[in-house]
Amino acid sequence: MQEKQVTKAIFPVAGLGTRFLPATKASPKEMLPIVDKPLIQYVVEEAVKAGITELVFVTSSSKRAIEDHFDTNYELEQRLQQQGKTELLEMVQNIVPKGVDCIYVRQPQALGLGHAVLCARQVIGEHPFAVLLADDLIDASVSCLEQMMTCYHETHASVIAVQEIAKADSEKYGVIDVAKNWSGQGPINAIVEKPKPTEAPSQYGVVGRYLLTPEIFHHLAKLPPGRGGEIQLTDAIARLLNEQKVMALAFDGTRYDCGSKLGYMQAMITLGLKHPELGADFKHYLQNLIF
Ligand code: G1P
């Protein structure tokens, strides 16, 4: 198979964020900040660093703040310029680096992750593409998507990111079936969306990073509703497996489930401690608080 560069990424951001109410009643969950950056900016930065130049947001009517965040704010920029705040000005002007385009597609109804990905089909065309879920913040020295790109270039197959999960948590994840002696990277045998712990084929759960070949769209277009009555990306991957190899990668790094309150707080503390300006003071504060 001829290798194609992966330059397009889908960010499904139409979801309602009910796990984070009331904070997400009027604001998109993807705009919740970790220290000083919204969650969506972390995944966009991860994508851009991995070579993505077309950012495709699958959005809905209540998510306009995301479009505004990645757009120019003339009034703010003019003020910062007048006040001589050049560092801040450069920061807001480079949220989307030069050469990177944002494209917005609407998901008219919340019919599931698979449906959201299908909404971007016309924009993606016959190219391999990435899917990144902003809820999953991954702290890693080499980003999760870059690790997946390496795997994609070695295998030319779709790659999904996985991590070891507690058996009791299998109903929160897509769960893969892999060979008994699986070493953390290799083809999967099967994948199932949110199985009961007794039916989970392994303890490897899918996290929100996918690199997919365009053939996935053929399956998404024909899928009946699956788990929870939604069109599931996991079900389309299961069908893709009948015709193509699909790789799983247990990436190096820590994933925070920022769609949950606890995961969000853990991410805030870890990244707060690593923050170049605030980290030392924050550490000092926490030490005094605990001991
Ligand atoms: C989605 C996917 C699931 C995956 C998870 C990762 O579920 O359907 O397979 O494991 O993302 O975060 P959601 O968390 O949107 O219910």
Q: Is the pLDDT of residue 140 over 90?
A: yes
pLDDT, average across residues 72-101: 95
Q: Is the pLDDT of residue 38 over 90?
A: yes
| Ligand 1 geometric centre to CA of 62 (Å) | 21
Q: Is the pLDDT of residue 291 over 80?
A: no
More confident of the two residues 9 and 5 = 9
114 lines ligand 1 (CB under 6 A): no
Q: How far apart are CA 158 and CA 156, in angstroms?
A: 7
pTM of the model: 0.96
Q: Is the pLDDT of residue 288 over 60?
A: yes
Q: Which two tokens stand for residue 92?
A: 């807001």
pLDDT (0 to 100) of residue 253: 97
Q: Is the pLDDT of residue 18 over 90?
A: no
With residue 188 as reference, give the H or E element that holds it: none
pLDDT (0 to 100) of residue 16: 85
Which atom of ligand 1 lies closest to the CA of 207?
6
The DSSP code sequence of the chain is -------EEEEE-----GGGTTTTSSS-GGG-EETTEEHHHHHHHHHHHTT--EEEEEE-GGGHHHHHHTS--HHHHHHHHHTT-HHHHHHHHTSS-TT-EEEEEE-SS---HHHHHHHTHHHH-SS-EEEE-TTEEEE-SS-HHHHHHHHHHHH-SEEEEEEE--GGGGGGSEEEE--TT--SEEE-SEEEES--GGG-S-SEEEEEEEEE-TTHHHHHHHPPP-GGGS--HHHHHHHHTTTS-EEEEE-SSEEEETTSHHHHHHHHHHHHHH-TTTHHHHHHHHHHHH-
Q: Is the pLDDT of residue 4 over 80?
A: no
Ligand 1, atom 6, lies closest to the CA of 207
pLDDT (0 to 100) of residue 3: 59
| Ligand 1 geometric centre to CA of 236 (Å) | 14
pLDDT, average across residues 154-163: 97
pLDDT (0 to 100) of residue 181: 86
Percentage of residues in the chain with pLDDT exceeding 90?
91
Which atom of ligand 1 lies closest to the CA of 205?
10
CB 52 within 8 A of CB 8: yes
231 lines ligand 1 (CB under 6 A): no
Report pLDDT digits (tens) over 222-237: 999 999 999 999 999 9
Q: How confident is the model at residue 17 (pLDDT cuts 50, 70, 90)?
A: confident
Q: How far apart are CA 165 and CA 148, in angstroms?
A: 19
Domains of the chain, each with CATH number or no CATH:
8-260 (3.90.550.10)
How confident is the prediction for the chain on average, in pLDDT?
Answer: 95
235 lines ligand 1 (CB under 6 A): no
pLDDT (0 to 100) of residue 180: 84
Q: How far apart are CA 223 and CA 143, in angstroms?
A: 32
Q: Is the pLDDT of residue 111 over 80?
A: yes
E-assigned strand segments in 213-269: 246-250, 254-257
Q: How confident is the model at residue 62 (pLDDT cuts 50, 70, 90)?
A: confident
Report pLDDT digits (tens) over 87-103: 999 999 999 999 999 99
Q: How far apart are CA 104 and CA 281, in angstroms?
A: 39
